[in-house]
Chain A
């Protein structure tokens, strides 16, 4: 048999890719686990013992911090999902829309959070707009951001996450005969809300499960957004741990590591809870459908969610506008709605400061996206050639997105040093690929698998070998999804903070590390400059991903709108 020999590399390649992705994470987790058990010889701690766990348990506010992480993460995920569902309904009915959300998708979390903080703060845009009406001459002392229940954090996460879930949902809807089902259902006299809940949701849920888990894991363990919008006393667990890692008392590192494992367990528990909810909902839902799926009030609720989605989108755009405006402001005191004597002074002044970060960001985004894209294409082509999918391997790709970064990145650094890998550009690129690759796979695998296989069969019947089929058929036909995946990859890479910081020993400043450092300064204008660039770069990526296929395929109707 000549077949296996030919296919063997195609079997091994995915395993190699997975190893490159997961090995650093495993090594990092191991280091974290050692420290969590009190073993860190560099500061004279020789475990194993339970002292770090005890120190963590004795941290004031730890219980509420854990609860806050769980609550804000779960609430933000649930709300984002509900808004995505309501928006998907509206878009399906109108037949268009949703394109407006691309900028929100492209915008890095930290930048959006900084902008939103300005919109929502007691001295922010909304307060300034109503100040003349209610007669405030100074900002009111209300907790409109950083409230003790994390409501503003939930709002901020939702603005960023619901567009992502909506994108995933539209992709999932494309996989089922949506319009046919809806027409059939309408003919039976069911309301739109009932149709989606009873008919569409159960069908798309299996495709939505992973994205929802990713959002849940992220929302529960996010640091930068929680620092900007979340409660402070106590903060969420992730922020509390960040404080531990930053404590001058080095023994707090051990407690922080123990906390990282708690964070990990928390995300695991929440994911378990979600899957349990899914079970319960499935059986309850089955009984509900048997009763005729009565959904009184579904209409108004869906309408309310749609309005909320619109408000969230507007808030996101206001946040972007606020950042851009701060970058050209000189003074912008309360209660002025617009900045005083706008100019490009701050842009000009920080010119020196941002050329290197901009260049690094481009290199990192370009490098990691190119590698991730090649790996994703290799992975999917292996699947095409062997005709086999490996569900476990496919699930393993997403492990980096499901684990809290704080749980392993500190350890990855040590592991890399032990392996003799010098911190620097290539190590960061590797780190970025770990997070870029899963998103590129999310974006690319559905279109890849959806491509008409008959084209490939015809091509091989015409004498085209596997490489010609890939290069002359597959890739050109898939130009648009490939570029979209690349744009998403660039957006993910640009937004990476901790991997850039740790794997580069801080020596490779990127727009995001600069933005976060400057967000720590009191100069919102400089933050505005860097955050505007940080947001503009991925947006440019999306624009290019839109323009290039539109130009190249201007005479190829069969490839448009795919």
Chain B
């Protein structure tokens, strides 16, 4: 079955001249070991990456080593050190799980190889039209410098037994926290998840949401964030530890939820609650919820550093991640439960049927439950927001 689809794909590949290069890539990739630098804090993602390695080894002779990061910036500084030391090839990082500000920084500093993503054979299943989610990373145009692999949606996690009626929208958190003092918090805004909590509120509370899509200016900042800070000042005193201390990152926050120290956690993975219930980390009654009006969504990408030693292998892995059967496997709640990045319109009936046949879990929301996906504000807003927060509340 897998063999046949591989054969079919190989035939399709050979059909067009642009993709004839792909056979050369495949040939060069054979025997390579791809060092995939990816956050290692999630067991299920780690397991998925291991599965990917087994598959690419079997199919293309490309093995994958997962270099587990505590923060994506680790890989960025590694590439930067190599550039500083004048190492323009044979670099130690082949593939990075990346998005947002880290991508913007690497793209700006010419630390990336590419464009390559649009030429991947499986890119034909993506909607890469201008402004589409897979073509825009935090308002930074992707321009083929990174390739999508999984869909992230900002969600809250709660224990439905303890919190039967979670806040309906971001504004509702103020009343909820007043009624349940000390039972919620957010990660430190120096952390990505903490910053996202503020951005989510900003998107809801800003008078003009469109203004957030342009680079920030002093005037726009003052106009758009005034309501946000009023809201935050009302919320903060009723937060965990009186709003004086914050968990370092989302994992620490999820641990606090598991320990019962808080009642609400957050995640970029809509399947997080279902996955953690299945693993025994959260009680059976844990669920995700999203504020009315939708939440921030973004796409996780993989990028290849400019000096990657195993560039071809990295491209093969990036392409494999986009194969419909990979995406089906990934979206399976028993595996990873991350939503596919593929455009259903571009899939054939068989692939669509396989997506529809995936098992569900009580704690796993449907896409419809999650409401609309809100675009990330321009990256400059996030920087400004976290700096401002630190000045107001840090220290």
Bound complex: CA of A233 vs CA of B194, how far in Å?
13
Cross-chain contact B93 with A233 (CB below 8 angstroms): no
Q: Determine how close the nearest CB of chain B comes to the CB of A410; give it in whole angstroms.
A: 7
Task: Report A-chain residues with C-beta under 8 Å of the C-beta of B390.
Answer: 59-61
Instruction: Name the residue of chain A whose CB is nearest to the CB of B284.
Output: A331
Q: Determine how close the nearest CB of chain B comes to the CB of A124; give it in whole angstroms.
A: 8
Q: Is B334 in the interface zone, CB < 8 Å from A?
A: no
Cross-chain contact A505 with B247 (CB below 8 angstroms): no
Q: Is B337 in the interface zone, CB < 8 Å from A?
A: no
Q: Is A363 in the interface zone, CB < 8 Å from B?
A: no
Main secondary structure of the interface of A (DSSP, over half): loop
Give the contacts of A415-444 with B (CB-CB under 8 A): 415, 417-418, 423
Binary contact readout A513-548 vs B (1 if CB under 8 angstroms, 0 otherwise): 110111011111010000000000000000000000
Bound complex: CA of A232 vs CA of B252, how far in Å?
12
Q: Is B248 in the interface zone, CB < 8 Å from A?
A: yes
Q: In the complex, which of the residues A61, A138, A246 contacts B71, with contact meaning CB atoms closer than 8 Å? A: A246
Cross-chain contact B46 with A123 (CB below 8 angstroms): no
Cross-chain contact A423 with B92 (CB below 8 angstroms): yes
Task: Report A-chain residues with C-beta under 8 Å of the C-beta of B225.
Answer: none
Instruction: Name the residue of chain B whose CB is nearest to the CB of A508.
Output: B67
Give the contacts of B56-100 with A (CB-CB under 8 A): 65, 67-78, 80-87, 92-93, 100
Bound complex: CA of A182 vs CA of B312, how far in Å?
74
Cross-chain contact B255 with A524 (CB below 8 angstroms): yes
Q: Is A44 in the interface zone, CB < 8 Å from B?
A: yes
Task: Report A-chain residues with C-beta under 8 Å of the C-beta of B93.
Answer: 505
Cross-chain contact A517 with B41 (CB below 8 angstroms): yes
Segment of B4-12, B256-264, B360-368 engaged in the interface with chain A:
B256-264
Segment of B238-246, B338-346, B348-356 engaged in the interface with chain A:
B238-246
Q: Is A265 in the interface zone, CB < 8 Å from B?
A: no
Task: Report B-chain residues with C-beta under 8 Å of the C-beta of A148.
Answer: 244-245
Bound complex: CA of A514 vs CA of B41, how far in Å?
9
Segment of A203-211, A247-255, A315-323 engaged in the interface with chain B:
A247-255
Q: In the complex, which of the residues B86, B261, B393 contacts A233, with contact meaning CB atoms closer than 8 Å? A: B393
Q: Is B394 in the interface zone, CB < 8 Å from A?
A: yes
Cross-chain contact B73 with A123 (CB below 8 angstroms): no
Cross-chain contact A516 with B70 (CB below 8 angstroms): yes
Q: Is B319 in the interface zone, CB < 8 Å from A?
A: no
Task: Report A-chain residues with C-beta under 8 Å of the C-beta of B210.
Answer: none
Give the contacts of B361-395 with A (CB-CB under 8 A): 383, 390-391, 393-395
Bound complex: CA of A325 vs CA of B100, how far in Å?
39
Task: Report A-chain residues with C-beta under 8 Å of the C-beta of B105.
Answer: 248-250
Q: Is B171 in the interface zone, CB < 8 Å from A?
A: no
Cross-chain contact A141 with B73 (CB below 8 angstroms): no
Q: In the complex, which of the residues A42, A59, A121 contacts B80, with contact meaning CB atoms closer than 8 Å? A: A42
Cross-chain contact B245 with A521 (CB below 8 angstroms): no
User: A42-B83, A143-B245, A245-B77 are contacts. A507–B395 as well, Cβ < 8 Å?
Assistant: no
User: A60-B395, A352-B50, A501-B74 are contacts. A334–B41 as well, Cβ < 8 Å?
Assistant: no
Q: A143-B245, A331-B281 are in contact. List 7 more A-B contacts (CB 8 A).
A: A60-B394, A234-B395, A414-B84, A414-B85, A505-B67, A506-B92, A526-B43
The residues of B with any CB-CB pair to A shorter than 8 Å are: 35, 37, 40-43, 46, 50, 65, 67-78, 80-87, 92-93, 100-102, 104-105, 109, 181-183, 188, 190, 240-241, 244-252, 254-256, 258-261, 276, 279-281, 283, 383, 390-391, 393-395
